[in-house]
Chains A and B, each alone.
Chain A
């Protein structure tokens, strides 16, 4: 099946710094990708929709200036957490849909962000 690769898998950063997370579709093109956040023992919550060649659309309550999304190519979306704070510590997961008979939604491996 299609593969979505996310990097890094784990990152620890200091408060106030920025962290970039990459999401790549390896064997298919994705004009749209999704970014989710998962706090410990909770479900996944959609943060934003990344659109190739245009601005991302953010869910209510998600600060677009804090969570910068860039979808510069058909295979790469990046999420930058700016001026990170400890409350931003979470598991961030990207997803890309793959068109086909099963209309799958493939997920990256996730990034565990810890802000200290």
Chain B
């Protein structure tokens, strides 16, 4: 069974600070996704990581993937309030496109 562990689960950070969210998974996978979810809303796709060493950046967010360590990180640079949301990593099983989600990181950025 593919397990996905995400930490921290809760993160309160000041505007302007940097922080990293970690996502570990238990078995081999060739696809890792990061999503953002605002309260009451569905998922917004942030990044799709498909290969070892993949690094993608969009604005203040940067995601990376180390398939050997089975680890992905989501790095937040100079946080702003608009980044407050819940962030999920999800890993696809090698047999298809069903996703196994981490528990999510609830991020609150304060002034």
- A residues contacting B by CB (< 8 A) are 1, 6, 32, 34, 42-46, 49, 93, 95, 97, 102-110, 112
Contact B40 A32 (CB under 8 A): no
Q: Given A44-B88, A105-B33, A105-B92, answer yes or no on A93-B101 (Cβ-Cβ < 8 Å).
A: no
Complexed CA–CA distance, A79 and B40 (Å) = 20
Q: Are B43 and A93 in contact (CB under 8 A)?
A: yes
**Prevailing SS type, chain A contact patch:** strand
A-B contact pairs, 25 of them (CB 8 A): A1-B45, A6-B42, A34-B98, A34-B99, A43-B101, A43-B102, A43-B104, A44-B43, A44-B88, A44-B90, A46-B99, A49-B96, A49-B98, A95-B97, A95-B99, A102-B50, A103-B48, A104-B45, A105-B90, A105-B97, A107-B35, A107-B45, A108-B42, A109-B41, A109-B42
**Please, which residue of chain B has its CB at the minimum distance from the CB of A46?**
B98
- Does B31 interact with chain A (Cβ within 8 Å)? yes
Chain A positions within 8 Å of B97 at CB level: 32, 34, 95, 97, 103, 105
The chain A residue sitting closest to B44, CB to CB, is A107
**When the two chains form their complex, are residues B31 and A103 in contact, meaning their CB atoms are under 8 A apart?**
yes
Q: Of residues A49, A95, A108, A112, which shows the largest number of chain B Cβ atoms within 10 Å of its Cβ?
A: A95
A49: chain B residues within 8 A (beta carbon): 96, 98
B100 close to chain A: CB less than 8 A: yes
* Bound Cα distance from A69 to B34, whole angstroms: 27
A93 nearest CB neighbor, chain B only: B42
A103 touches B88 (CB 8 A): no
B48: A residues at CB distance < 8 A: 102-104
Give chain B residues whose Cβ lies under 8 Å from the Cβ of A42: 103
What chain B residues lie within 8 Å of A1 (beta carbons)? 45
Q: Which of A1, A44, A102, A112 is packed against the most chain B CB atoms within 10 Å?
A: A44
Q: Which residues of B contact A45 (CB under 8 A)?
A: 101
- Say how far A31's CB is from chain B's closest CB, in angstroms: 11
Contacts of B98 in A (CB 8 A): 34, 46, 49
Query: Which chain B residue shows the least CB distance to A10?
Result: B40
